[in-house]
Amino acid sequence: MLPLSMACVGPTDRTRVTGRMLPGQIRFVTIVEADPGESGGWRAACIHIRSSRDNTGQSILCRFGIETPIHNVEGPISTPLAQRIAADRINEATQSIFSAATLESPLGMLCESVKATLRTTVPASIAGSRVPSECHARSVPVQFGDFNL
């Protein structure tokens, strides 16, 4: 399991998220090659984020894909650039969602909130990107963190 962040219960029963997902931890695979000089091509990554509740032992695995074009209307998008943008957006979303969570926050709803946030922020950062609930069959799942609530 790769480290992402830890969420710890603080004095206000909220969580504190520390740490960051590193761009190189996101493993994109090419699904469709891009034709030279033309928009197109496609890459996909599969992200699994573990969230657990210390007081009950409840645990979920928040699963989703990150898919980006290789070349869009703005030009070519290198794998390192796609990794950096995806990591930045995931770090921002998990920080925002999990830091606002309480002991009563349903884990499934936190996961859905992270995905909903990413469905807005990733395409805003890379035109043509998407965040599906299911990972592409050829992508390699990578598990991150263990948010303890």
The position carrying tokens 């695995």 is 61
Q: Is the predicted pLDDT of residue 96 greater than 70, yes or no?
A: yes
pLDDT of residue 19: 58
pTM: 0.83
User: What distance separates the 2 farthest-apart alpha carbons in the chain?
Assistant: 55
Q: Rounded to whole angstroms, how far apart are CA atoms 4 and 94?
A: 10
79-99 vs 107-125: helix crossing angle, rounded to 10: 140
User: The tokens of 62 are what?
Assistant: 């928040």
CA distances from 58 to 11, 92, 148 (A): 21, 24, 10
Q: Is the predicted pLDDT of residue 2 greater than 50, yes or no?
A: no
Please state the domain extents for the chain: 6-148
pLDDT (average), residues 50-59: 78
Mean pLDDT of the chain: 85
